[in-house]
Structure 1
């Protein structure tokens, strides 16, 4: 049985995943997650994911942004010893962070496909919109765990391709609306 590949993250209502934490991430409207009223129940999905995650996957840019912070973060301590995969054709081995558990660079979509065929549980992709689009186009994403925020940003990085492509049906596994306007939507990809 193939491992499940799950993209998880925050998204604006108009589909932007760019810079949810702050403007220093690159988008002029950055910080939109933090500008929404915090309700613990709206973020419960993140705790549930910790229990299910057996490995993490990042694109190069997301790895370079997350690794220096998450490696020493108490909030992300449960991830420390999990296997981590960085999908990049340009990242050098010596750029990997020491002391953050097992790390491996995957050089191609084919490497990701081979990893999925191995033993183990769910692999979660955080951030990495470009990687997610590439893997979705290769029919490798199995599930989307989305927290959709009540904000419209216009421009920015998007999770889903704007290219004309074959229709992809999704099955709504779970959803919930919260008082702060955030919507949890978990979709399985139908094959």
Structure 2
């Protein structure tokens, strides 16, 4: 059975929307896009690069299109493009006809909680979720997430889509923390 691990950038008030670029996600009139720029350092690079390799990556369809579209268009050398393109990728969508543009991508059509539960049952190793806030909230509500690796940035945005929405109380067990040179707190939690 696989382990679902969420890797997310959030700010102190829990917003995860649009950390990477001004135009990354402007839904709901979000105007703080790119809020995570300037916080990357060698501590984050070393930590993220040293995380157990994923057996697969899991995305919501919108995050898949955005993330792969962005990183495959970047011409400067970076550690992300090759890893994203070469990793096995699973993409959730309610639409069975959804087309996936990148290699090693498999569509999980239907309700995400059902399709991801089946994926988790048949996969050995870590299934890493990147971004994909709507998907994360759905999986969290269904009790399918095993681990959260949160990069908590020292900023408060006051608006935007948060990692966790309304729901039931969930207690998490802190496994490790690392503080970066830019004040980002890397915190890894296991679900109960």
TM (norm. structure 1) is 0.88
Deviation, 1:83, is 1.7
Q: Deviations over 1:135-179 (max 9, x none)?
A: 000000000001100110011011112x242x2111111101123
RMSD: 1.8
Gaps of 5+ in 1: none
Greater mean alpha carbon deviation, residues 17-26 or residues 103-112: 103-112
User: Partner of 1:187 in structure 2?
Assistant: 189
User: Partner of 1:81 in structure 2?
Assistant: 86
Total equivalences in the alignment: 183
1:118 maps to which of 119, 122, 126: 122
Q: For the residues of structure 2 that align with 1:71 and 1:97, how far apart are their CA atoms?
A: 11
Q: For the residues of structure 2 that align with 1:179 and 1:40, how far apart are their CA atoms?
A: 8
Secondary structure of the residue aligned to 2:87 is coil
User: Partner of 1:67 in structure 2?
Assistant: 68
Aligned residue runs from structure 1 range 1-191, under 5 A: 2-25=1-24, 26=26, 27-36=30-39, 38-49=40-51, 51-71=52-72, 74-76=78-80, 77-90=82-95, 92-93=97-98, 95-98=99-102, 100-108=103-111, 109-161=113-165, 163-165=166-168, 167-190=169-192
Q: 1:22–1:41: structure 2 CA closer, same or farther, 3 Å change rule?
A: same
Gaps of 5+ in 2: none
Q: Once superposed, which parts of structure 1, at least 4 consecutive aligned residues long, lie more than 2 Å away?
A: 42-45, 69-76, 78-82, 90-93, 102-106
Q: Is the CA contact 1:81–1:102 (under 8 Å) kept in the aligned structure 2? A: no
Deviation, 1:23, is 1.6
Q: Is the CA contact 1:13–1:152 (under 8 Å) kept in the aligned structure 2? A: yes
